[in-house]
């Protein structure tokens, strides 16, 4: 199967959680929007499945994945679909549902991280809501980050025999997503996250383990890996790193 990933070019965003799974598995895929328009890529190709009236089940927004004739949207839903196909989730139903539950919880924190710099609305520039963003950042860094990370640390602690993994005792898409989540938070709030590092030894060890996996290490050094920037979900504004 050759997969087609549709996500905005130039930002890691939510698409990066899917890319990491595809890269870890060594799956064949195309990052469609990053291809030249002459090769069927670009923004027009990205928007096609959302706007074409012939598409019976249009996705609401990127990311979405095309696998044969099937189109799957929403990051957690895409990973639920890919997990068993890429062997990135345990076989039994209970642990697959557990993995999906954790992925949805990660998605909650990703959304909250985005809303720090856009607390009023996504249609407004950050400069139009800086005052509100400062207030949101104070609440997010002091209350929400520790609430979520304390939970994820407990998940690792209680997964006895899991060899440092979030689900089961082998690499899963949840481990890869946790790596991306922590990397994004460290980019957006470096001082805050540095102060908290000792509190989360298992999460830090998990991120180091993921980064050292051969396919992921090669991907991180390649041009396919997009850098965090101030157009994406995780943005670094020094005044918000309170």
Residue pLDDT, tens place only, 86-136: 999 999 999 999 999 999 999 999 999 999 999 999 999 999 999 999 999
Helices 173-188 and 75-85 meet at what angle, rounded to 10? 140
Please give the CATH topology (third level) of the domain spanning 3-85. Answer: Glutaredoxin (3.40.30)
Architecture of domain 93-212: Up-down Bundle (1.20)
Cα–Cα distances in angstroms (integers) from residue 49 to residues 9, 57, 63, in the given order: 16, 9, 11
Q: What is the pLDDT of residues 180-226, one digit of tens each?
A: 999 999 999 999 999 999 999 999 999 999 999 999 999 999 999 99
DSSP string over 107-126: HHHHHHHHHHH-SS-TTS-G
Q: Where are the domains of the chain?
A: 3-85, 93-212
Number of residues that this document lists for the chain: 242
Would you say 4 and 30 are in contact if contact means Cβ atoms under 8 Å apart?
Answer: yes
Angle CA(163)–CA(85)–CA(65) in degrees, nearest 5? Answer: 115
* pTM as predicted: 0.96
């Amino acid at each position: 199967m050759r997969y087609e990933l549709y996500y905005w070019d130039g930002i890691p965003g939510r698409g990066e959680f899917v890319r990491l799974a595809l890269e870890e598995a060594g799956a064949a895929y195309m990052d469609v929007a990053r291809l030249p328009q002459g090769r069927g890529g670009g923004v027009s190709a990205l928007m096609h499945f959302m706007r074409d009236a012939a598409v019976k089940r249009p996705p609401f927004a990127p990311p979405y994945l095309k696998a044969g004739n099937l189109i799957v949207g929403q990051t957690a839903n895409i990973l639920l679909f890919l997990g068993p196909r890429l062997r990135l989730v345990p076989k039994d139903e209970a642990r697959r549902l557990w993995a999906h539950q954790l992925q949805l919880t990660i998605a909650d924190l990703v959304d909250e991280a985005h809303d720090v710099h856009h607390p009023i609305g996504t249609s407004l520039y950050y400069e139009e809501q800086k005052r509100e963003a400062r207030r949101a950042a104070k609440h997010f860094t002091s209350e929400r980050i520790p609430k979520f990370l304390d939970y994820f640390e407990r998940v690792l602690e209680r997964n006895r025999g899991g060899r440092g993994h979030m689900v089961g005792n082998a690499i899963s898409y949840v481990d890869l997503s946790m790596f991306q989540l922590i990397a994004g938070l460290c980019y957006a709030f470096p001082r805050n996250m540095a102060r908290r590092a000792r509190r989360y030894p298992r999460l830090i060890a998990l991120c180091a383990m993921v980064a050292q996996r051969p396919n992921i290490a090669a991907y991180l050094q390649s041009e396919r890996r997009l850098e965090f920037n101030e157009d994406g979900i995780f943005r670094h504004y020094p005044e918000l790193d309170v």
